[in-house]
Structure 1
């Protein structure tokens, strides 16, 4: 309510953030996992009789790696900042102010990554082999430290731990219950992606070197992929109880009935993980069969697994952007605990509605939607409200909004009976049958009327 609303038709602002973030996560995970592969391959090349041939492959690997991670990684990283600043400025402000030194550390590590990677690539002909190995190891360490910092902030959003708005100790929020399982799980995912990226580039090699590189890459992928379920179990037990309940409720839908999105995305991660293990075993057994198309398909499968894992984390946090503190529409939980604040006329607290809106008018309902609902729902696209409200009646709409928090995945409604009636009437009227706020208000029980 304290900021203007970024209303993105059909996609919604949240999905725009998700699209950019998923692309960036894949790139950043390859940046770390691929960096570790470069360091290991550089060391491995020094122990091969044809080490220069291995390093020739590695030089080509680093060229693609550098362009992919630095150019597209930087573009999507900046894109995330623009998108989250528009989609949820309240949450972005909290994260910046709470973790200002962590962000500064992250940006320093990013500059360090770029510097060392460029020194490694452009010093190929002039640096000693020992210096190249040192630079490769240094890049891998700095890239992993970047993960360390970002992981603390991301895991804080789901499990703030001992942090509260009253106790803003950075360590209490940073080293939270999901910090360690998330850090180790992401590290394993990065090893998988780094190995698969190496297999994709190894598919271009035509001689026996291809078999050895595929075998080396498989040693990255298989142990990490096999170890992931153990980290997933650890992560599960560190989740908030509400997230576990949401998943278990959705799991019943596997046999019929309701299947929550959080459960679907976790199943996607499990299925893609199994496919990666099977595919990598096949590649290791028949390395000559590794074609560009097959290796690319494996990388796409891994991307789907990353998507499943990231969406699971986001869905498990619903309806918060900072769990237990700040709802996704900018309402602070502390405000929601105060009936005097929560049940007051909404426009008394909101700052961005147009002046002169008549109470109970369609504009009244539309601006309640824009300011309270548009952060998660579009009208006719992603999480469409038109679809969700097509069978509403005035009485049902009023009751649904009044008991909104009982859904478990949405914030409580912020406003009085007039605000609920205006929003319900506007949503129902979009289906072709005009309904007035007065009709909705008349359908409400007497004890909740104005």
Structure 2
């Protein structure tokens, strides 16, 4: 009898996440029946590709948006300035308050700030929590009815929903897949409760999936789990198989470019996390025939304020491709570029989810699969891979990118060949999934 898998994934970006798409495809090819239990909402991401008949997508219609902005260290600084100013005023007004130990004051400040934040956001939290309960109940009913052999809970919402269902309807195997990382402490009470359930999912799981050892440690730390005591399965966030074509004319047709133009591609989110505006600004200094191209993973429009800032920063040297393509057409996009850019802002600024990205960055895997050399910011994990295979050039500061590109162009065939080798040995998804298959079939 075929084993049944419940793949619990609440988010709306399944159609642009290679490791999820490829996992579902491989599992279905190997005879598993896979039910994807998710949500349907107004989304700017491309729809998932067509799967085999033994893959069922079952979605709960919801009306709450997903916030994809990240709190920064600047936000914390503003809060600290406000708290300190209040504290200074209090010190001036009361001698007795100066006798209170600073540790007690900090606890009091934190508690007051916590209460204010939750009272201010009570209405939105109530709606958020109501929709979460609906999703949890939706998943619970499906799991109870379908009697899955295996449950896979993905990230924050999916992990929490899967844990609740597993608690009352145990399956033969329960896996937690941690790709995105939600910080362990959440200020808002509704998020705090869901985070608690995600932590329990990670702690309870028979196995934890993530991209590499470094990210496993970060995922487990964020979920208060001892990684050394868990069964670990490593899957890079990358496509399966190899690219058979050498070149496409996607951007050349879209932007009326010719062979004299050198195209430098940044694929993925256009956002401050990716230093997009700074990158566009820097492109103005590059040689006249170079073009920086941003290709988005989700639908964006030129009238968005940040998109306008990027356009203005790059002037005519930066081009924006704001319509995402279907998953199976990503190669067409990448093949039309000459070089790929990998850049992230500091993780100290944006949080744990942006630390261990060497095997968690879908863009670098797609670049290398298509034989594109990369210019890559010197971040943890990337340097070891890039320097080992000589498939690109690292940079520390954004004004070093021009020199890095020039170095690659001076020996392009060398870096081009090495990009294929790096993908084959470090990122090709199929060979990594064999251990997952063995675990699920055991």
Specify the TM-score bucket, using the shorter chain as the normaliser.
under 0.3
Structure with higher Rg: it is 1
Normalised to the residue count of structure 1, the TM-score between the two structures is 0.24
Q: Which has the higher strand share?
A: 2
Higher helix proportion, which one?
1
Give the structure-2-normalised TM-score.
0.24
